[in-house]
Amino acid sequence: MEVKKPTLEGNKLTFDIEREFNGRAFTMTYQGIIKAAEISGWRMMEFNGSPRDRAWNAIRQ
């Protein structure tokens, strides 16, 4: 998995990850807000013509 188009503006992080599932390629766009040792945000994608989003977070261990 390769992170593409990473950007950091202040504490807002955005990046894309390209994936493949059952022979279909799609791009997931992540955006999040950095607070100390945590990033919280949303993952957005379109799959089979339907938009999908999901909350995500990452915590530094």
Per residue in 16-49, is it b (16+ CB within 10 Å) or e — as a string?
ebeeeeeeeeeebbbebeeeeeebebeeebeeee
Q: What is the pTM of this model?
A: 0.79
- Per-residue pLDDT of the chain (61 residues), as tens digits, is 788 999 999 999 999 999 888 888 888 999 999 999 999 999 998 877 788 899 999 999 8
Phi-psi region of 30 (alpha: psi -120 to 50; beta: other; left: phi over 0): beta
The pLDDT of residue 35 is 94
18 close to 9: Cβ distance less than 8 angstroms: no
Supply the pLDDT for residue 47. 75
